[in-house]
């Protein structure tokens, strides 16, 4: 009942932000920036409490990494806010169409979605990123984070609510569900009539739960079994750092490489180098029969390994006979997030970019760039791995929709 009460207040408040102008929204984001910057110490103290509690529960290191804030990560959050402020406001954009046969003029107007619900796991940066993007695009936002970061989320939301009030907005434009039970999550997913869209940010289990139980429009995001394919015509001096960066720079993120495919023609020359470097970074290797022949410590891979998002220092490696085999393997096992080909062959590159069915497809660059910040969108609300209504990193425009505007002079239909 408490969630329903919050949802009703949020829906009512949402109409005001829909009609705010760009200057008002940017001033609000500047206020959020200043308040978060001024309250760094309190934010870090609250986050440290969450991290200590997680450590006492022996939570996996990759999950603790996702939930942890430090000065550098707060700097990144604040830089994201500045980027969003600098972005063009999409609301009010008018797309003109040819006049109708009856003399009516027809256009489409870009408008906010309304109320955006975010259900997410241990990522406190999502709390700020989501609010900033939603507010700039004229939406109210309903947050339902995990219990692991409740103290952090409370202080972040309270700071942003203060910023709302300081700029003359209703504090109900941002709501946080503080009940972190399974029942509250289910209730949140079923706010038909109050949530205009639900965006889950988390692992496969959370996303599947939303798919099965939500009765509101849903955008699937985040789950990333990302591949790097090293082609027969690859430059090894590019391939090695791309794979190492994509796998080891940060393992707990959805755009990290989880699977490597090696063309049979280069496997003898390249695999030993790759295995040696990955082992230096303490990566646990799973390989097929060919890959296992290079090192007795490599674990034999199975079907589950090829489909797995490890989110850890762990990877699968497979030898493929051709570019076509690589594309087929990726389309079968990937989560349609981010995939890369390393090759100097233009034909192979173009075929890979065209035929791989994922949201982000790369040639000779790390999959770690799949990120709203890196793509110049400011922060991101998530990375959509579906094909409707948005795909890939979701920025401001992904949080809008279009409505038709028809203007006449007394026309009636016969």
pLDDT for position 152:
98
Q: Over the stretch 150-161, which tens digit does the pLDDT of each residue have?
A: 999 999 999 999
Same domain, yes or no, for 48 and 185? yes
pLDDT for position 62:
82
Residue 387 lies in a domain: no
Same domain, yes or no, for 230 and 159? no
SS (H, E, C) the chain: CHHHHHHHHHHHHHHHHHCCCHHHHHHHHHHHHHHHHHCHHHHHHHHHHHHHHHHHCCCCHHHHHHHCCCHHHHHHHHHHHHHHHHCCCCCCCEEEECCCCCCCEEEEEEEECCEEEEEECCCHHHHHHHHHHHHHCCCEEEEECCHHHHHHHHHHHHHHHHHHHHCCCCHHHEEECCCCCHHHHHHHHCCCCCCCEEEEECCHHHHHHHHHHCCCCECCECCCCEEEEECCCCCHHHHHHHHHHHHHCCCCCCCCEEEEEEEHHHHHHHHHHHHHHHHHCCCEEEECHHHHCCCCCCEECCHHHHHCCCCCCEEEEEEECCHHHHHHHHHHHCCCCEEEEECCCHHHHHHHHHHCCCCEEEECCCHHHCCCCCCCCCCCCCEECCCCCCCEECCCHHHEEEEEEEECCCCCCC
pLDDT for position 122:
84
Same domain, yes or no, for 302 and 353? yes
Q: Which residue has the higher pLDDT, 237 or 61?
A: 237
Q: What is the mean pLDDT of residues 292-306?
A: 97
Query: How many domains does the structure of the chain reveal?
Result: 2
Residue 183 lies in a domain: yes
Judge whether residue 375 has pLDDT over 80: yes
Residue 388 lies in a domain: no
Residue 377 lies in a domain: no
Same domain, yes or no, for 312 and 173? no
Same domain, yes or no, for 330 and 214? no
Residue 276 lies in a domain: yes
**Domain that includes residue 143, residue range:** 2-219+394-407
Same domain, yes or no, for 168 and 307? no
Q: Which residue has the higher pLDDT, 378 or 77?
A: 77
% of the chain beyond a pLDDT of 90: 91
Same domain, yes or no, for 241 and 300? yes
pLDDT for position 376:
83
Same domain, yes or no, for 53 and 140? yes
As a whole number, the mean pLDDT across the chain is 95
pLDDT for position 338:
98
Q: Over the stretch 202-238, which tens digit does the pLDDT of each residue have?
A: 888 899 999 999 999 999 887 899 999 999 999 999 9
pLDDT for position 371:
92
Same domain, yes or no, for 341 and 209? no
Q: What is the mean pLDDT of residues 184-194?
A: 96
Same domain, yes or no, for 240 and 260? yes
Judge whether residue 252 has pLDDT over 80: yes
pLDDT for position 221:
85
Residue 374 lies in a domain: no
Residue 384 lies in a domain: no
Residue 323 lies in a domain: yes
pLDDT for position 46:
98
Same domain, yes or no, for 234 and 348? yes
Same domain, yes or no, for 80 and 133? yes
CATH number, residue 252: 3.40.309.10
């Amino acid at each position: 009942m408490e969630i329903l009460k919050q949802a009703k207040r949020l829906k009512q408040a949402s109409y005001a932000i829909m009609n705010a102008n760009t200057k008002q929204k940017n001033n609000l984001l500047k206020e959020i920036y200043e308040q978060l910057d001024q309250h760094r110490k309190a934010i870090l103290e609250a986050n440290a409490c969450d991290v200590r509690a997680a450590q006492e529960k022996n939570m996996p290191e990759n999950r603790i990494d996702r939930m942890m804030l430090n000065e550098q990560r707060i700097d990144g959050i604040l830089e994201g806010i500045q980027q969003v402020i600098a972005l063009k406001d999409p609301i009010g954009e008018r797309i003109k169409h040819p006049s109708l046969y009856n003399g009516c003029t027809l256009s489409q107007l870009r408008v906010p979605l309304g109320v955006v619900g975010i259900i997410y796991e241990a990522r406190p940066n999502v709390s700020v990123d989501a609010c900033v993007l939603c507010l700039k695009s004229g939406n109210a936002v309903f947050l339902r984070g995990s219990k692991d970061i409740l103290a952090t989320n409370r202080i972040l939301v309270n700071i942003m609510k203060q910023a709302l009030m300081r700029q003359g907005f209703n504090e109900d434009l941002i709501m946080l569900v503080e009940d972190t039970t399974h029942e509250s999550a289910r209730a949140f997913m079923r706010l038909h009539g109050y949530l205009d869209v639900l965006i889950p940010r988390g692992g496969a289990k959370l996303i599947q739960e939303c798919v099965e139980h939500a009765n509101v429009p849903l955008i699937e995001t985040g789950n990333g079994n990302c591949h790097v394919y090293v082609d027969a015509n690859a430059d090894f001096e590019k391939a090695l750092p791309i794979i190492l960066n994509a796998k080891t720079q940060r393992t707990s993120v959805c755009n990290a490489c989880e699977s490597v495919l090696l063309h049979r023609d280069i496997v003898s020359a390249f695999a030993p180098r790759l295995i040696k470097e990955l082992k230096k970074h303490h990566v646990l290797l799973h390989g097929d029969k060919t890959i296992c022949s290079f090192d007795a410590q490599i674990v034999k891979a199975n079907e589950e390994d090829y489909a797995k998002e490890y989110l850890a220092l762990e990877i699968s490696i497979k030898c493929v006979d051709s570019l076509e085999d690589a594309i087929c393997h990726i389309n079968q096992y990937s989560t349609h997030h981010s995939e890369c080909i390393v090759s100097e062959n233009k034909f192979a590159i173009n075929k890979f970019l065209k035929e791989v069915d994922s949201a982000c497809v790369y040639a000779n660059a790390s999959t770690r760039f799949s990120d709203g910040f890196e793509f110049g969108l400011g922060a991101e609300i998530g990375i959509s791995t579906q094909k409707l209504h948005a795909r890939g990193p979701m920025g401001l425009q992904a949080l809008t929709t279009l409505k038709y505007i028809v203007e006449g002079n007394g026309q009636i239909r016969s």
